[in-house]
Amino acid sequence: MRKSSLLVVLFLLASTTCFAAIFPQGRGAWPEDWPKELEPLREKSRTLGVGTGIQESIYEIPIPDRETFDRLWPVILKLRTPGGPLKLYRAGSASPKGWGDLLSNKEPTIRIYGPSGGLSLAEEIDVQNPPDFEKLIKEGRALKAKAPWPIELIQKHGKLPEYVTSKKDKEGKLRWVAADPTAKDQEVAGFFNRARIDIELVVDGKIIDLNRLRFPDGVKVIDYRFDEEPASR
């Protein structure tokens, strides 16, 4: 019988065991409970399921006209987690650094980084006979990477850490704790799972026109439109 001893947290997405892989889909596979205003664009969007050391889902929503963007922008602002930056790219420019052909700045686009919706476990399982994962979650032996997040992670004004990782508490139950993939000398036994929903815009000046946009108060804008080294404002 084939078993997998998990010294690190196992990530499972859509009931498939995934190790250090990226899964593109030719549709917007965002959660069904996201705003209904996004639904007409689902089949024309793209999804990138990231299953590397960082676990997240990236949704690229191409915007066909200004009216569509104007209708969606208030919805996107409500979907976005407070506290995260807003990144800007220029339509027709190179892909975001490090992503190659996996992401595209070819056309006006709303790009959303969200939780993977996958599972984290820290115990041995039989991959040929998977357990009842809902039962494991109820018993504190597994966690699902999606909202609602535990109240101890939620900061003032609804802010969340960008990433979390799972850790056993004193009772041996798994809990989400804030984690930083860029921090040195931190003890993380598993994956970094995205908690915060962040937004990027690929701007063309016509369909997505910054002069007509309303930004959230206090948001940090990181501008990559004219240089790989971003300008913040």
Q: For residue range 39-75, list pLDDT tens digits in order.
A: 999 999 999 999 988 999 999 999 999 999 999 999 9
Q: Would you say residue 25 has pLDDT above 90?
A: yes
Confidence at residue 19, expressed as pLDDT on a 0 to 100 scale: 42
Confidence at residue 52, expressed as pLDDT on a 0 to 100 scale: 87
| C-beta separation of 109 from 60 below 8 A | yes
Q: Mean per-residue pLDDT for 10-32?
A: 68
According to DSSP, residue 146 is labeled S
Is the model's pTM score more than 0.75? yes
| C-beta separation of 60 from 103 below 8 A | yes
Separation CA 52–CA 211 (nearest Å): 37
Mean of the per-residue pLDDT values of the chain: 87
What the block records as the tokens of 163 is 């990433």
Separation CA 45–CA 206 (nearest Å): 20
Where is average pLDDT lowest: 18-22, 173-177, 179-183? 18-22
Where is average pLDDT lowest: 3-7, 96-100, 118-122, 158-162? 3-7
Q: Mean per-residue pLDDT for 137-160?
A: 93
Cβ-in-10-Å burial (0-12, 13-18, 19+) of 156 comes to exposed
Q: Would you say residue 15 has pLDDT above 80?
A: no
Separation CA 91–CA 207 (nearest Å): 10
3-state secondary structure labels for all residues of 173-210: CEEEEEECCCCCCCCCCCCEEECCCEEEEEECCCCCCH
73-124 tens-digit pLDDT: 999 999 999 999 999 999 999 999 989 999 999 999 999 999 999 988 877 7
Cα 127 to its chain centre, rounded Å, is 26
| C-beta separation of 41 from 61 below 8 A | yes
Confidence at residue 1, expressed as pLDDT on a 0 to 100 scale: 39
